[in-house]
Amino acid sequence: MASICEGRVAVVTGAGRGIGRGHALELARQGARVVVNDLGGDVHGANPDSAAAKEVVEEIVAAGGEAVASGHDVSTADGAAGLVRLALDTFGELHAVVNNAGILRDRTILNMTEDEWDSVLAVHLRGTFLVTREAGRHWRERSKAGAPVDARVINTSSVSGLFGNTGQSNYGAAKAGIAGFTIIASLELARYGITVNAVSPSARTRMITPRGQERMAAREDFDPFAPDNIAPLVTWLAGPDSKDVTGRVFNVHGGRISVLEGWREGPVIDKGARWEPSELAVVMPHLVAKAAANVSLR
């Protein structure tokens, strides 16, 4: 079987462990040269350590692939610029960016601090924006110069943002924002030969709570919660065969892939004139009663 990413260069953020590590290894197995980005540290983003990214690079190289480690902080403009520059300086080109980096600082809304809110959105949402912007500017320059561009951005959303999860208003808001960002970016970047999609993975990682870890315990046969299960779709999205797919968010769990269809307009009432607030007291309960309940995967 041919390697579906042969000759391509991919950047994967948050690739030192878990789902991101799986992405980096599979991309390399499929022929891509990979920039393994990970600031390191714990699940809260503290105590940076480059060891994890270097270990993934060593594993790729030992298997005959090409990779370089990056410790750039994607939540900063300088870090995002340095990351893209490293890919170009090392491999001479760039074809795909996988925005996977993230941290957790769970807390209910009433107990959450501003720093717990800001830090989570900085890594997930701002990091996705900054790296996409930096790579997108490079591809735009190539396109305007008449060079061929067949580029990919793959973002990471979550069921927490798409369907809701108590105690994760910061994380969920960031992940919902990433889904919206994905759709808008796909519209803006299409003219330059860039597709933008997102995955919403369900897998066992160190970001899962102890209770969740127990529920997702490994199995002897096929392990549906193994973090490596997300990589095949991400790798396909990073390759040339996905050129006609853009602006989509995919839910991925084990061997199951679904296309998430987003907001749809439900029941409607139109007076044809401006409402009086008192009129809505009668109208709104009936309108809401006709609507489907919020979707939940729980």
271 is catalytic: no
Q: What is the pLDDT of residues 72-99, one digit of tens each?
A: 999 999 999 999 999 999 999 999 999 9
Q: What is the pLDDT of residues 256-297, one digit of tens each?
A: 999 999 889 999 999 999 999 999 999 999 999 999 998 876
What is the pLDDT at residue 58?
A: 98
Q: What DSSP line would sit under 86-99, residue for residue?
A: HHHHHHS---EEEE
171 is catalytic: yes
CA separation for the pair 256, 233 (Å, rounded): 10
Which entry of 119, 158, 202, 242 is annotated as an active-site residue?
A: 158
For the chain, domains (ranges, CATH) are 9-260 (3.40.50.720)
Task: Tell me if the pTM is above 0.85.
Answer: yes
Which entry of 70, 160, 175, 186 is annotated as an active-site residue?
A: 175
* Average model confidence (pLDDT) across the chain: 93
What is the pLDDT at residue 248?
A: 98
Q: What DSSP line would sit under 214-269, residue for residue?
A: HHT---SS--TT-GGGGHHHHHHHHSGGGTT--S-EEEEETTEEEEE---------
Which entry of 70, 75, 160, 171 is annotated as an active-site residue?
A: 171
158 is catalytic: yes
Q: What is the pLDDT of residues 155-189, one digit of tens each?
A: 999 999 999 999 999 999 999 999 999 999 999 99
